[in-house]
Amino acid sequence: MTTKLDYFAMRAARGLMSRREFMGRAAAMGVTATAAATLLGDAALAAGPQKGGTLRMGLQGGSSSDSLDPALATNQVALMAIRLWGEPLVELADDGGLEGKVAESFEGSADAATWTFKIRSGITFSNGKTVTAEDAAASLMRHSGEDTKSGALGIMRSVKNVRAEGDSVVVELDGPNADLPYLMADYHLIIQPNGGNDDPTAAIGTGPYIIKDVEMGVRLVAEKNPNYWGDLGNAETIELLVINDNTARVAALQSGQVDMIDRVPPKTAGLVARAPGVNVHSTAGPGHYVFIMHCDTAPFDNNDLRLALKYGINRQEMVDKILFGYGSVGNDTPINASYPFYTEIEQREYDPDKAKFHMQKSGYDGPVLLRTSDNSFPGAPDASALFQQSAKAAGINLEIKREPNDGYWSEVWNKQPFCTSYWGGRPTQDQMFTTAYLSSADWNDTRFKNEQFDQLLIAARAELDAAKRTQMYADMGNILHNEGGLICPMFNDFVDATSDRIDGYVENTAGYALMNSYAPMRMWVKA
Amino acid sequence: MGSVTRLLAQRIALGLLLLFLVSILIFVGTIILPGDVAQSILGQSATPEALANLRAELGLNEPAFSRYFSWLGGAITGDFGTALTSGLDITTEIGRRLGNTLFLAFWAAIIAVPLAIFLGLLAVRYRERWPDKLISGVTLASISIPEFLIGYVVMFYIGVKLRWFPSTAVSYRPDADLLTRLDSIALPVIVLTLVVLAHMMRMTRAAILNVMQSAYIETAELKGLTMFTIIRKHAFPNAVSPIVNVVMLNLAYLVVGVVVIEVVFVYPGMGQYLVDHVSKRDVPVVQACGLIFAAVYIGLNMVADIVSILSNPRLRHPK
């Protein structure tokens, strides 16, 4: 039976059989849809990519107020544009490891406080200039310093010095950090000629494509870079169209105006998947939707009250009704299986009795005010209403205050003691914890200050022994799980969709949506 | 003719005064919006240092009063400054966007205005009979449904199911040939036509019916003229002033009110441009857009006023 299925998969991959037909035959042979999709993906990859053609994508998040400066990139469209023309030193591989981009290889000193990245020899920028270690060092330095506006400033703050040394860049830290190479995969840290200091928005880099035409928030056209050093990039031309409206984006895919879209609304993803010529892909990621309490503000400064709320939320219900199954339950830590060094913690279940017990123990019996808005995460007001109902069963009176989308991130999030929010996640535990759970973190949006947690975090950075590090992160996870101000009911999947016109989607890659935003380069237009 | 020139000058001066007042309103309005530009630009990923740096660079620490006058001075000379977020020159950007919006509005108007007037005349001709009821029913229904919903319905049936036209206007490029451009804006034009049709058609119908009660129409009827000739030659010229008024109002709507349609169909016009920058608190762009929208609105209404004055001798010679 397997050979027959393989044969079908091969035919499907070569376009001799439709994907729909293949899935049908696979189902008839008793193969689950997931397994069949994987098989088909493997077969498509084995058949090999085809070169040429124009690949169009419709993406959400772009705006005419965007800039081409990688330091200022904040959304999916800006990220996708960066991927086309530029590269960081290293990049996340599909399995969550690292692969070299502008850097050929890297190594750390024994104390993990100094890291050396060897620049790939002989590669050039799209303006013909050869990439030097000086360019790379200047690129990193542009994101540090007090007057930068870069989104990577948080990462660069622990960097003491960057210098070029022969054909290598040496990054010196103010303390050990075993994860530094992961930080260098940040999408802001693109290597530009002279560090981009001459013209940060020139979009000149070492990427597989060259930007030909750009109108911010509308369209971006890129053509294959003939001098690209690697084998990335199949389509001759990639067109990026900004379609912020959900319905319009799905319609554009269905009518063949675009070949791939991101952020299919979970609510309609099931319906979209049934449309002819459309494939919906769901990828687990580190992104999560949260309810955050300030641990230093009454009544949330009482851990029993926090526990009461944690027990008073029905996580599975949220996954079913808010994510429509496109996600997984959270466990009150920001970490899930998509992280390296992950250990499972016993799942906290919805338990009205325990919630009631902790509520009584806290001695607080007034109402608890929860602020929410539509843009804190899709469906946040609905999720808040669900939370209100499940908490009510435990005798907790949750009051919901709907805040305007406008100004939510400046007026409510990280200001008000209890609100809904989301996190995109980070590639490593260290980065996630350092960003939001270290006592001194700028975005410590739960005001979580725990000395033991901080010590473990610093110690884990210097720990090169994987087993010991895993244990440390497990301990930290437990502290957050039991004492933190984070209620994490769910991890949201990335839901993308592609048309039958293109092939080569790889399921379950690490990083961001659309194959860590490499889908347009790695997929191909079927002949 | 001296009095007419004076009247025109008066109208234009009034329009300019109104525009000046609007500029103050826009400026104050954008200042009291919640949130802060720097925070909105950097989003959730803002660090306090980055925020402080950006705020200083954008000149947000200066007093509002001096910011208003330097802005107004620039606006009068056609210089709206640069967008805070992208650093691009606002005047060139708006020039391009306004061109796109006008292109869309022009084609919607070319179809909607004659169609509305013709349907209005037709409704009068067959007053209280089924063509009148059908026309009124359909146009009233289409104006009552929210325009984004009409947009989605049209997108789904004509764009996705029938595939007559592209489902969104993303493929629109100002430098393409006319046919390609018309093809990509077909759906938004259809929706806009449906949205503005009812208002103009109803007004045409009402204005002409009003005139039809007059004695001279009866005379024309008694002369033995056909109904349509009476409407065209006798009733319509006398009903033109309210019709022009409502047509201008709808033209203004086609330019300044198409925000929703532009966003739904992803058309790179002024509306989309404005929405993008409102959400990022890019105040100079919002102010510039607001001022231009106000100018278009005031301008078109002024034209309507002037036309109705000129077409009506009683208004031309006020007591």
Q: State pLDDT tens for residues B246-258.
A: 888 888 888 877 8
Q: What is the DSSP string of B104-167?
A: HHHHHHHHHHHHHHHHHHHHHHTTTSHHHHHHHHHHHHHHHS-HHHHHHHHIIIIIIIS-SS-S
pLDDT at A44 (0 to 100) = 61
- Answer yes or no: do B143 and B201 share one domain: yes
Contact A248 B47 (CB under 8 A): no
The closest of A175, A186, A217 to B285, measured between CA atoms, is A217
- Answer yes or no: do B179 and B62 share one domain: no
Q: Quick check: helix, strand or coil at residue A284? A: coil
- Answer yes or no: do B105 and B10 share one domain: no
- Answer yes or no: do B213 and B97 share one domain: yes
For residue A343, CA distances in Å to A337, A347, A471 come to 8, 12, 8
The CA distance from A190 to B275, in Å, is 30
For the record, the structure tokens of A359 come out as 């509520």
Q: Quick check: helix, strand or coil at residue A247? A: helix
What's the total number of domains in chain B?
2
Question: Left, alpha or beta for A216 (phi > 0: left; psi -120 to 50: alpha)?
Answer: beta
Q: Is B37 part of a structural domain of the chain? A: yes
Q: What domain range is B198 assigned to?
A: 90-316
Q: Is A243 on the interface with B (CB under 8 A)?
A: yes
Q: Is B177 part of a structural domain of the chain? A: yes
Q: In what order do the strands lie in the sheet with A168-173?
A: A103-108, A114-119, A168-173, A159-165
Q: What is the pTM of this model?
A: 0.78
Q: Is B53 part of a structural domain of the chain? A: yes
Cα atoms found within 13 Å of the Cα of residue A52, Cβ hemisphere only: 3
CB burial of residue A432 (10 Å; 0-12, 13-18, 19+) = buried
* Residues in chain B within 8 Å Cβ distance of A216: 86, 88
What ranges in A48-152 are assigned the alpha helix state H? Answer: 76-85, 133-142
The closest of B275, B277, B240, B242 to B256, measured between CA atoms, is B275
Beta bridge partners of A329: A490
The CA distance from A316 to A330, in Å, is 9
Residue type, A183: L
Q: Is B123 part of a structural domain of the chain? A: yes
Question: Which one has a higher pLDDT value, B175 or B312?
Answer: B175
Cβ-based contacts under 8 A for chains A and B: 135
- Answer yes or no: do B69 and B98 share one domain: no
pLDDT band at residue B285 under the 50/70/90 scheme = confident
For residue A41, CA distances in Å to A22, A67, A85, A160 come to 12, 35, 27, 44
Picking from B155, B263, B279, the nearest residue to A251 by CB comes out as B155
The CA distance from A452 to A456, in Å, is 6
Q: Which residues contact A449 (CB under 8 A, 6 or more apart)?
A: A295, A296, A439
The answer to whether the beta carbons of residues B88 and A216 sit under 8 Å apart is yes
In angstroms, the separation between the Cα of residue B115 and the nearest Cα of chain A is 28
Question: Which one has a higher pLDDT value, A224 or B69?
Answer: A224
Average pLDDT, chain B: 84
Q: Is B168 on the interface with A (CB under 8 A)?
A: yes
The CA distance from A312 to A349, in Å, is 9
- Answer yes or no: do B56 and B34 share one domain: yes
The CA distance from B80 to A118, in Å, is 47
- Answer yes or no: do B23 and B158 share one domain: no
Q: Is B163 on the interface with A (CB under 8 A)?
A: yes
pLDDT band at residue B121 under the 50/70/90 scheme = confident
pLDDT at A154 (0 to 100) = 77
Return the biggest CA–CA distance within chain A. Answer: 70
Picking from A251, A257, A404, the nearest residue to B156 by CB comes out as A251
- Does the ipTM exceed 0.95? no
Core vs surface per residue A173-201: b (16+ CB within 10 A) or e: beebbbbbbbbbbbbbbbbbbebbeeebb
* Residues in chain B within 8 Å Cβ distance of A257: 166-168, 170-171
The answer to whether the beta carbons of residues A210 and A222 sit under 8 Å apart is yes
Q: Is B85 part of a structural domain of the chain? A: no
* Residue at which a domain ends, from B51, B77, B103: B77
- Residue A180, phi then psi, degrees to nearest 5: -50, -45
Residue of A nearest to B170 (CA): A241
Contact A74 B42 (CB under 8 A): yes
Contact B167 A255 (CB under 8 A): yes
The CA distance from A82 to A79, in Å, is 5
Q: What is the CATH number of the domain that holds B208?
A: 1.10.3720.10
Q: Is A54 on the interface with B (CB under 8 A)?
A: no
pLDDT at A358 (0 to 100) = 95
- Answer yes or no: do B173 and B266 share one domain: yes
The CA distance from A278 to A260, in Å, is 9
* Residue at which a domain ends, from B45, B77, B109: B77
The CA distance from A392 to A405, in Å, is 27
The answer to whether the beta carbons of residues B258 and B105 sit under 8 Å apart is yes
pLDDT tens-digit map of B29-51? 877 766 666 776 666 556 777 77
- Answer yes or no: do B115 and B233 share one domain: yes
- Answer yes or no: do B138 and B32 share one domain: no
CB burial of residue A96 (10 Å; 0-12, 13-18, 19+) = middle
The CA distance from B227 to B232, in Å, is 9
Cα atoms found within 13 Å of the Cα of residue B62, Cβ hemisphere only: 11
The answer to whether the beta carbons of residues A453 and A447 sit under 8 Å apart is no
Q: Is B185 part of a structural domain of the chain? A: yes
* Residues in chain A within 8 Å Cβ distance of B54: 149
- Answer yes or no: do B97 and B64 share one domain: no
pLDDT tens-digit map of B206-224? 888 888 888 888 898 899 8
The CA radius of gyration of chain B, in Å to the nearest whole number, is 24
* Residues in chain A within 8 Å Cβ distance of B42: 74, 149, 151
The CA distance from B257 to B274, in Å, is 12
The residue assigned the tokens 């494939």 is: A279
pLDDT tens-digit map of B49-58? 777 887 777 6
In angstroms, the separation between the Cα of residue B142 and the nearest Cα of chain A is 20
The CA distance from A334 to A487, in Å, is 9
The DSSP secondary-structure symbol of A193 reads G
pLDDT at A328 (0 to 100) = 93
For the record, the structure tokens of A366 come out as 């007034």
Q: In what order do the strands lie in the sheet with A418-423?
A: A327-329, A486-492, A288-293, A418-423, A368-372, A398-402
Residue type, A506: V
Q: Is B82 part of a structural domain of the chain? A: no
Question: Left, alpha or beta for B279 (phi > 0: left; psi -120 to 50: alpha)?
Answer: alpha
The CA distance from B203 to B52, in Å, is 55
- Residue A228, phi then psi, degrees to nearest 5: -65, 140
* Residues in chain A within 8 Å Cβ distance of B47: 153-154, 442
The CA distance from B146 to B191, in Å, is 11
The CA distance from A82 to A240, in Å, is 12
The residue assigned the tokens 């269905």 is: A254
pLDDT at B40 (0 to 100) = 65
The closest of B224, B249, B298, B218 to B11, measured between CA atoms, is B298
The answer to whether the beta carbons of residues A103 and A117 sit under 8 Å apart is yes
In angstroms, the separation between the Cα of residue B90 and the nearest Cα of chain A is 11
Mean pLDDT by 10-residue block, N- to C-terminus, for chain A (527 residues)? 55 55 59 60 70 93 84 88 95 89 93 94 94 95 83 84 94 91 92 92 94 90 94 94 88 92 90 90 92 93 95 95 93 91 92 94 92 90 96 93 82 90 88 90 90 94 89 95 95 93 90 91 91
The CA distance from A277 to A301, in Å, is 53
The continuous run of DSSP H or E covering A116 comes out as: strand A114-119
The answer to whether the beta carbons of residues A239 and A54 sit under 8 Å apart is yes
Contact A245 B263 (CB under 8 A): yes
* Residue at which a domain ends, from B35, B55, B77: B77
The closest of B259, B262, B208 to B230, measured between CA atoms, is B208
Q: Is A411 on the interface with B (CB under 8 A)?
A: yes
The CA distance from B241 to B303, in Å, is 11
For the record, the structure tokens of A421 come out as 């929010």
Strands A260-261 and A54-59: parallel
- Answer yes or no: do B170 and B239 share one domain: yes
For residue B176, CA distances in Å to A14, B171, B180 come to 35, 10, 6
Q: Is B126 part of a structural domain of the chain? A: yes
pLDDT at A132 (0 to 100) = 95
